[in-house]
Structure 1
Amino acid sequence: MSTQPKTTDEEDVEFQQRFIEQAEYLDPENFLELNAEHPDQEVILGKLKAGGAKLLVGPRGCGKTTLMLRAYRELLSSESSSLPIYVNFKLSLKLEPMYINSPNASFWFRTWLGLRVVEGMWNAILESESLRPTDGLPAKGQIADAISSIEGGGDLPQAMLEKYSLSSVVQYIEEYLSETSLKRCVLLLDDAAHAFSPKQQEDFFDFFREIKSRRIAPKAAIYPGITTSSATFHVGHDAEKINVWVKPSGDVYEKFMLELGEKRFGGQFPNVIRESPGVAEFLAYSSFGIPRSYLNMLRAIVEEKDRYTSRDGTLDRRKVFELSRASREMSHNVYDSLSMKLPSYANYIQSGANIYQKIVAEIKEFNRGKDNKSHAVEIGLKKPLSSEIERIVGFLQYSGLLMPSGENSRGVKGTFEIYSVHFGDLITQNAVVGARTKTIPPFLEAFRSKPHQAWPRLSSATLMQLGTLGEHAFDLTLPHCQNCGAERISEHARFCHNCGAQLKSSSLFEELVSQDISALPISATLVKRIKEGSKIKKVRDILTDADKTNLRSVKMIGPIRAQRIAHWAEEHVA
């Protein structure tokens, strides 16, 4: 029986589905087929599937969710003695307004966390072929209703509150393990400290510490630099940190990234990439260990083939270097977004951008006159760092612009924290391979060279001097009085010193969802088309368009593109 050839539209839909970057949105049936093996996968999965509390650390897009889902599905499909529970807390910021409007916000947030865990139990049971529900487990529909009620700002009856307290959630898990003769529960909490509300993060870590037991092993995926643990939670003692950001160096790195790219193309790169030696490897280094960035660049080559190819059909060298610039822009956009998500640190973030550019300039000057194999791609920051510089370095790590590479002692000269600098910036700003006419081989030579001990050494004082930051570089930016507009004199002030009006805290979540859709990474043309073809104007309108009906009513927006836009809206508030 012959099969009909696929139409162009069907091939495009298939391509778009294969190039979904976020692991949580991939079809479970194709999950393994579309993902490469992390270089440290065996060790990391072993820790995720075993007992003990762990913190999976890395910037956005580095593969934390992929590893968590791998662990979850391996435990779910094998004859394991563990109950795996996977919960994604990406949109936990939607509960942040409670911390402004409700005196009992911590209580409601912890209740919500417990409900999400019980919901995750049900999901595991329904997805598994061997797990079965027990009589003591609350009904799935009842849990969903309770979650919706809390997210909508509503209350729960007292009896239900007792039913979903932390102690009750622990009891449900313990009883299920006993009734099913399972050894432990592996609790995989993804995007756990995503919320940018410090108090919300502190409440999460209190929950994490308290749910941990001999038979319940919580694992959480968090970001470097911006995560605030509680006073009672101590990293290293209460949980082991696991760094999952892959260092862009060596054959193992190239194999990992190339395998990932080939899998997304069905087993091998298309001709336009295969016939351009070194391009796939160059883009892998340009992505700086962020698989999501690498996939974005590969997708662009295929989706905008006319833009990136010459008349003879081969890749245009100059356009390839444009792609490397797009990679670093992705990380810079994440960094810039911190001004919206952490408005009180706006001065820090601006000063950090200035300092980062000076770091790149220092590397460029250091490499001047050296051969490609001797070029530095790292800097050394002398310990101890000032609190201000330490905060900025954390922001740069979160954004994927600085990668920690360990420490190095130089005797009387001091001990230095070593950081690799985003290769996309080093390429774009001629900090490595300073030739005017850019070709790919010299960059591959520089990035493939063995690590060496020569790099610029900088102190906190030097960074502040380099940045020419000004006297207000590290002042906190406090919200102005809503009544008269006067600047607050203290973050603890309750009344305006100018007009006497009571000062109100603003909701970060409300500010983010109230922004125009142009704040999302979509073109101005598409923004205009969406606004003219639908009622969608704000980010909130996309998030509330649950079935994507409004988005799909817009000309040239099909189900795959609508889903991608919805994902961008979720990332915006995450």
Structure 2
Amino acid sequence: MSELIFRTEELTNNQIAELYVASEYEQSIIDKLKAPSPVLLIGSRGVGKSFLFKMSEIQMLQEFSEKKVLPVFLTFRKASLLKTSNPEQFQNWMLSRICSEVLRALKKTGKLSPISSGLSLLAGEESIESSKIDDIAKAFEESWKSPGELIDVTKIPTLDDFLNTVEDLCGELDISRIVLFIDEAAHVFLPQQQREFFTLFRDLRSPYIKCNAAVYPGVTVYGETFEPVHDAVKVSLVRNVNDPNYVSIMKQMVLKQIHDSSLATNLSRHGENFTLLAYASSGNPRYLLTSVSMAEKMDSKSVNQVFRDYYREKLWAEHTKLSDRYPGYRDFIAWGRDFLETTVLPELKKKNDDFIENGNGKGTTAYFWIHNNAPHEVKEALRILEYSGLIYEDASGIRATRSEIGTRYMINLGCLLASEATPSATGMKIINASDIRRMSEYGANYPVYQGVQGKIVGSETDALKEQLDKSIDLLELTDWQKRKMHEISINTIGDLISAPEEKLKQARYVADVRARTIKNAGIAAVCEYLLG
């Protein structure tokens, strides 16, 4: 199996710039991220939110001498590890992380000077060479080791002091604006943390600073004080499979990672099979890279096996595992999967078979429609299916039979084609004949809805310790990375996030660069596993 890289966290900025496919769609999103208005970048797992954040940062650094806009990239993925007795721990931690990363970005640009008096506030002390603010952020992130311990937060500035200092620094250092790219933001937070985050997101707005945040659809709680329509520009990262350049763009994403000449040859020799996998990924680069890695020979047998193992089994299993991370949503997770597997997919397959075998109807379909007045519980379940990447919202306000209004969804094409006996034989026929008008419709009172009506979101339980004792084999790390960890007795999730990089270097063939790569990939995988 080829060791393709699925996670942005494992790439350097130089590698990201090399792998970037400058399509019109991707660049239009980057331009919005670089603009003055705050942006919420919304997309399911693996669609490339982190990658576009990093590419925006890279372009802004290249333009910094001319435009004077400073990008600051930070991640909030460690929020799930905060376990102190401070009731305001989360807000304090967020501000400490932001101060720390702003200070780090200023150091990188060479903008620091003795006259920058405001830097001491961001650093939490008199000297900027040894920052206490870094120590505070680290103490919060390691608080899971000693739950309840009180952390000294007196060096963290208030929000007003922070904003005033940013304004002063921009004037002193000839910076027109600071742009925060907050990656892995609200989707790793508990609901209360999400509300606090979006309050901070809204308040961190001035002519001198703006926020961009990457969030998932479905499980984001904005709270009462934040209005997504008014307080930010919402950008959904969903690549259009009907775009005429879609396959060529997805192919470029794969070819830029391939260093194995045999795999490149197989991609060229079995072009139609690659095209099928590109459509099956439904615009998700991680799904496509995983599929290509699993089907190295790219022949029909290998491709059919991908549909059986990945799209018929693994993606569904990952959705079901969300019940462990979000126990309060267990009923909605179970019902949503059942709705797709026993109602939507069989009906879509029946329509597609009828057209392919008998020529009935105007075409095939991958779309279904839900009435606007469907029960709230149904919409809750659908949002979590979006989060998992099993469905994608295609358009809202769509008229269906009898002019009723609702939302049209596209089901993940890989999951749709996985129900075929031999996807390599029939898959492209279904895709090429697709007609968006032939959607399956589910009205306001569809009988199946009764299975989820009356369900409520249950309380979240603190199962952190139980999760930390689980095997690293559950994480989305490469097989090589897992083998290296087991070699040095790093067997559990807790072992991995506790281990310093020096410990990782004890594994054979793991030096500085690989140790940092494994540590970063491990933390990202751990936090995604803990809370989605």
Same fold (TM over 0.5): yes
* TM-aligned CA deviation for residue 29 of structure 1: 1.6
1:120 aligns with 2:67: no
- Give the distance between the partners of 1:474 and 1:572, measured in 2 at CA: 25
Change (3 A) 1:517 1:131: same
Pairing 1:108-507 to 2, within 5 Å after superposition? 108-128=89-109, 131-132=111-112, 134-137=116-119, 138=123, 139=128, 141-153=131-143, 154-157=149-152, 159-161=154-156, 164-265=157-258, 270-302=264-296, 309=297, 315-328=298-311, 329-357=313-341, 358-371=343-356, 374-407=363-396, 408-410=398-400, 412-430=402-420, 436-440=421-425, 442-449=426-433, 451-462=435-446, 464=448, 469=451, 474=455, 476=457, 506-507=461-462
Deviation of the 1:175 alpha carbon: 1.4
Secondary structure, aligned partner of 2:218: coil
Paired residues of 2:364 and 2:435 also in contact (CA < 8 A): no
How many residue pairs get aligned? The number is: 502
Amino acid paired to 1:335: H
Residue pair 1:59, 1:399 contacting (<8 A) in 2 also: yes
Q: Distance in 1 between matches of 2:260 and 2:371?
A: 46
Classify the secondary structure of the residue corresponding to 1:146. Answer: helix
SS at match of 1:91: helix
Q: In structure 2, what residue type is equivalent to 1:317? A: S
One-letter amino acid matched to 2:111: L
1:516 aligned onto 2:471: yes
Alpha-carbon distance change, 375 to 317 in structure 1, aligned in 2, over 3 angstroms: same
8 A contact 2:467–2:493 mirrored in 1: yes
Query: Structure 1 residues 525, 464: CA separation in 2 closer, same or farther (over 3 Å shift)?
Result: farther
Q: CA deviation at 1:534?
A: 4.4
For 2:479 and 2:434, the matched residues in 1 are separated by 43
Structure 1 residue 351 displacement after superposition: 1.4
Q: Contact 2:41–2:212 (CA<8 Å) still a contact in 1?
A: yes
Q: Confirm or deny: 8 A CA contact 2:392 2:411 kept in the other structure.
A: yes
Q: Does 1:89 align with 2:82?
A: no
Distance 2:170 2:292 in 1: 45
Match of 1:29 among 14, 23, 34: 14
Which residue of structure 2 lines up, in the alignment, with residue 312 of structure 1? none
Cα distance in structure 2, aligned partners of 1:351 and 1:254: 33
- Local SS of the residue matching 1:182: coil
Aligned to 2:146: none
Q: Kindly state the Cα deviation for residue 135 of structure 1 after the two structures are TM-superposed.
A: 3.4
The 8 Å contact of residues 56 and 243 in structure 1, kept in 2 or not, is answered as: yes
- Distance in 2, Cα, partners of 1:522 & 1:266: 20
Letter in 2 for 1:380: W
The DSSP-based 3-state class of the residue aligned with 1:194 is: helix
Judge conservation of contact 2:295–2:302 (CA < 8 Å) in 1. no
Q: 1:336 to 1:166 in 2, by over 3 A?
A: same
1:136 CA displacement: 2.1
Give per-residue Cα distances to partners, 1:215-245, cap 9 Å, x unaligned: 3221111000000012100110111210112
Answer whether contact 1:189 1:220 (CA < 8 A) is retained: yes
Runs of 5+ in structure 2 lacking a partner? 144-148
Q: What is the letter of the counterpart of residue 136 of structure 2?
A: A
How much identity, in percent, do the aligned residues show? Answer: 22
SS at match of 2:436: coil
Shift of 1:550: 5.4
Deviation larger for 450-459 or 209-218: 450-459
- Which deviates more from structure 2 when the two are superposed, residues 109-118 or residues 137-146? 137-146
Distance in 1, matches of 2:179 and 2:483, equals 46
| Aligned counterparts of 1:526 and 1:47: Cα–Cα separation in 2 | 36
Answer yes or no: is the 8 Å Cα contact 1:286–1:327 preserved in 2: no
Q: Give, in angstroms, the shift of residue 399 of structure 1.
A: 0.4
TM-score scaled by structure 2? 0.85
Per-residue CA distance 1:69-116 (angstroms, 9 max, x = gap): 111111112122212111111222112x34xxx3x43x2211111111
Provide closer, same or farther for how the CA distance between residues 539 and 322 of structure 1 changes in structure 2, counting only shifts above 3 A: same
Find the aligned partners of 2:424 and 2:151 in 1 and give their Cα distance. Answer: 64
Alpha-carbon spacing, 1:281–1:379, altered in 2? closer, same or farther (3 Å): same
Post-superposition CA distance 1:273-296 (Å, at most 9, x none): 211131221111111211011112
Mapped to 2, the partners of 1:256 and 1:267 lie a distance apart of: 20
Task: Give CA-to-partner distance per residue, 1:257-286, whole Å, 9 cap, x none.
Answer: 011011111598611221113122111111
Q: Which runs of 5+ in 1 are unaligned?
A: 1-11, 303-308, 310-314, 431-435, 479-504
SS in structure 1 of the partner of residue 179 of structure 2: strand
Give the match's secondary structure for 1:187: strand
RMSD over equivalenced CA pairs, Å: 3.1
Cα distance in 1, alignment partners of residues 138 and 57 from structure 2: 25
Name the CA distance, whole Å, in 1 between partners of 2:483 and 2:7.
26
- Give the stretch that moved more between structures: 350-359 or 29-38: 29-38
Question: How big is the shift at 1:145?
Answer: 0.9
Cα deviations across residues 427-482 of structure 1 (Å, max 9, x unaligned)?
1112xxxxx55535x422432446431111112532626xx8388x835555xxxx
Give 1:570 deviation, angstroms.
Answer: 4.0
Q: TM-score scaled by structure 1?
A: 0.80
| Distance of 1:82 and 1:276 partners within structure 2 | 46
